[in-house]
Structure 1
């Protein structure tokens, strides 16, 4: 190797070493900067955390008071209505609270009488129609018995 090529090789090696060192230092610098930023964020959060916590506690207290007020109102409403009143309201909503009047009873008796007459009429007509085919069947049997001896002779 010549002196010039050895000199060029030393310069290239030196430059590569300096470049590698610069890359290494840039990485360390980025790490240091990220660490510093993270440290600042932690300090900021630790300062704001008690404030945020206190705000949440006060909001929770307000909501608890409102819930107690609403619960108190609801329970006081339940105490004013007796069980008998509740039962009568339930019966009325289901239709059991209605007491029958004399007119209601008369109307129901008339309907029952009309239905009874219809049932009687239907049962009489069904007996009549059942009896008619039975008579025809007896007449046919008698006719066939008389006809049978004539065929035999």
Structure 2
């Protein structure tokens, strides 16, 4: 083997060995990541399971305390009266609030109607782009357009009739 071939062979071997080492380094990094991920996932599962278990225990304890409080209140005559009073007062406040809201809505509607009745006739004179009068103006313009269209059609019909009659008499004369 010539010296050039030996050098070329050793370069090729070194390159292959370098690639293999780089590949192994990469695989070691991926393996480390996988191991850390698995361990972290396991820990998260343990913590999540423990947290869910703790939460369930706390809910159960809360239900027990709630039952104790309810039974204590039901045995206590004064607490029962207070509870009834609170419920009664809450219902009264709710009814009063609904009544007041309905009254307020009726008043707003009454004021809105009054304003429209009182202001609307003057808005045509005050503002050319009166929002209140636009609807009635559109209706009036539509009626005028329809009347003018009917007149135009009538005039077209009137012009066409004498022209036909004149043409008919010319044909008869020949």
Same fold (TM over 0.5): no
TM tier, smaller: 0.3 to 0.5
**Could you tell me the TM-score, scaled by structure 1's length?**
0.41
**Could you tell me the TM-score, scaled by structure 2's length?**
0.37
- Which of 1 and 2 has higher RCO (CA within 8 Å, sep 6+)? 2
